[in-house]
Structure 1
Amino acid sequence: MHSGNVGPSPLRQLLPLLSCLMSFASVLAVLVIYMDTTEIRHQQFRLNMSRDYELYGVPQDDPTLLKFVREIHMKKYPMAFLKNMAPGIINLTDRHELASEIADLIGKYLNKRKNGFFVQSLPWTSRNMMTAPWLSDTLKWGGLIVEPDPQQYFELRKENARRNDVQVVHACLSSTGYPKEITIHHEGETHDVKINSLIDEDSGFRTRVKCFPLYTLMLAVNHTKIDVLSLGCQGQELQILETVPFDRVTITVITIHLEDYFRYESSADLYVQNVTTYLKTKSYKLVKQLHQNYIFQLNGCDKNKCP
């Protein structure tokens, strides 16, 4: 008989290796599950950030909605750093060459009316066309400026901080008769904002913004009679106007600013024709066109007999 140590069986020798493989497989499985879960959450987040939430069934004049707009979106938070700043001086020469002409025309169509009220919602690219500063400083008007882009909202807050009768609200105008929350895309160097546009994941900064019907905002500022409504909303002007109950409000002058939204002039002409046709049913007429800026006036107001 031979004596000697008997080594471990081949199966026992493989046990450490099998244990290592099982541990590795377990870790890998957990990692895969974690990555899948993370991806699902990421996809859900992207879906939530791109989905428009529309509050169907909420009336434009709902008291709770009006309270929310007034107390949350229209609250004037103090801007202490402006205390020692010199008052701004309006300078139309720094603006678009048509800005002064449009401002002068609005004054003419409204017979240089003092203490009027305006509502303006224009893209950043049309900011130099805004007549709000001239109307406020020259004719002592009050008004509401609707700005969806957060950066430009704060710029407008700063610019109008000393104009006590001018309210700037961080929102957009709803193209439906209901409030909603949507995603906007900041275009970077152009400072423009694209609403409801199809965008790639890494194509730029996106943020969420609440949109309210124009009539809701008019009620929130206690002005159902306004002198000038200026819209430049990326081809949604007609849809916005269609939400307005014109039998409950009075708007003397409506200006539409298309800038370069329409690539082809024929498309812009057709769109303006549709806007003109609709406003004609509401007793408005097109009184002036300056490039892609269109001025509509309520019938009878040219004779200073506005309601």
Structure 2
Amino acid sequence: MFSTAKKLRRCKGGGVVCILICILLLLWLRARLAMHAVKPTVVKTNPDLIEANQEDPGLVEILRKLILPPSGLPYSLNSPLRRHYSQVSQDAYADYLLKEQRGGFFIEVGAGNGEDLSNSLFLEKTRGWSGLLVEPDPTSFSALSDKHRKAYSLNVGLSLNTTSYYAKFKPNAGLGRITSEGEDLIRIKTFPLFTMLLALNVSTVDFLSLDIEGDELKVLRSVPWSRVIIRLLCVEVKHHKGGPRPLIRYMKEQGYTFLGVKDIDAWFAHPSFKKHL
């Protein structure tokens, strides 16, 4: 009887040891498997393609979705009977240089409310042009949309380099600009000028009006000039710290003819356009 009890105690003790060994073995196997398990790859998403290159297909597609089409409604202008709308007759001068060309394509950067001081409205209304209006100020862009312009429009900023990025912008009713100084700044998305051309499938622009309150040269430096033709450029130089000379020098290096400074703007013509002057 006593020998049987001893045997049972041995079996019980041995069973406990076996169970402990099994548990330790399972824990060891689990640890080994965890070490060699394939860890999931963490993919950093960038839905806005911030800092994407100006030719990035994804960036082009994002911008394409932001472009509003020309309005099919009648104009809703404050001064519908006016012929010219520019500040200092830029539209009339462009029309003169272009010899009253009909059906051209313009880009106006710094389009304001689409009527007051507009350098493109005359060409659109009178000469039947189409084009693109770019205005980053939300308030001005809302007013622009209410004019029912017959051109594409974009409520974004113009990038000062070859990538897309967010920037701080100071709205100021047609005088707004990208800056990190001052109060009441808003955050805007910027796109390179060339990305806008790609989004519209446009490689030739008949007239570019560029007015962004002092950063015009930075924008022009971002353009791959061998891949686009801009026949006539009107670039505001009033707010350039270094004056118009750096801008003139740069555009001459790109093969453009400097036509002179007229009031607040420097004018340039593409080599293929010179013979028409």
Q: TM-score, normalised by structure 2?
A: 0.73
AA in 2 matched with 1:61: E
Out of 109, 115, 131, the residue aligned to residue 103 of structure 2 is: 115
Distance of aligned partners of 1:129 and 1:287 in 2 relative to their CA distance in 1, 3 Å threshold: farther
| CA distance in 2 between partners of 1:139 and 1:167 (Å) | 17
**Match for 1:70 among 64, 76, 86?**
64
Structure 2 residue ranges without an equivalent (≥5)? 1-47
**Match runs of 1:144-183 below 5 Å:** 144-159=132-147, 161-163=148-150, 166-183=151-168
Q: Is the contact between residue 114 and residue 143 of structure 2 (CA under 8 Å) also seen in structure 1? A: no
Distance 1:129 1:145 in 2: 13
Task: Please state how far the C-alpha of 1:293 moved relative to its aligned partner.
Answer: 1.4
**Identity between Structure 1 and Structure 2 (%):** 23
After the TM superposition, which segments of 4 or more aligned residues of structure 1 sit over 4 Å from their partners?
A: 76-79, 82-88, 92-95, 123-127
Is 1:69–1:220's contact at 8 Å kept on the other side of the alignment?
yes
Which structure features the higher share of helix residues? 1
User: Match of 1:234, SS?
Assistant: coil
Q: Is 1:194–2:177 an aligned residue pair?
A: yes
Kindly provide the amino acid, as one letter, of the partner of residue 252 in structure 1.
R
Distance 1:112 1:78 in 2: 24
Instruction: Tell me, yes or no, if the aligned pair for 2:115 and 2:121 is still in contact at 8 Å.
Output: no
Is the alpha carbon distance of 1:183 and 1:273 closer, same or farther for their aligned partners in structure 2, counting shifts above 3 Å?
same
- Consecutive unaligned residues of structure 1, counting only runs of 5 or more, are 1-52
1:246 and 2:246 correspond: no
Match of 1:278 among 250, 253, 272: 250
CA 1:239–1:110: 2 relative to 1, 3 Å: same
CA distance in 2, matches of 1:258, 1:215: 21
Q: Residue 55 of structure 1 aligns to which amino acid in structure 2?
A: I
Change (3 A) 1:66 1:247: same
Q: Report the equivalent of 2:41.
A: none
Q: Which residue, out of 226, 250, 272, partners 2:205?
A: 226
In 2, the alpha carbon distance for the partners of 1:196 and 1:64 equals 27
In 2, Cα distance between the equivalents of 1:126 and 1:272? 26
Q: Secondary structure at the match of 2:63?
A: helix
Is the alpha carbon distance of 1:74 and 1:280 closer, same or farther for their aligned partners in structure 2, counting shifts above 3 Å? Answer: same
In structure 1, distance between residues paired with 2:85 and 2:208: 23
Distance 1:191 1:59 in 2: 28
2:80: which partner in 1? 89
The residue type paired with residue 191 of structure 2 is F
- 1:54 and 1:176, CA in 2 relative to 1: closer, same or farther beyond 3 A? farther
Compare 291-300 and 82-91 and name the one that shifted more: 82-91
Shift of 1:191: 5.4
TM-score, reference length from structure 1: 0.67
Aligned residues: 230
The change in CA–CA distance for 1:285 and 1:125 in structure 2 (over 3 A counts) is farther
RMSD across aligned positions (CA): 3.0
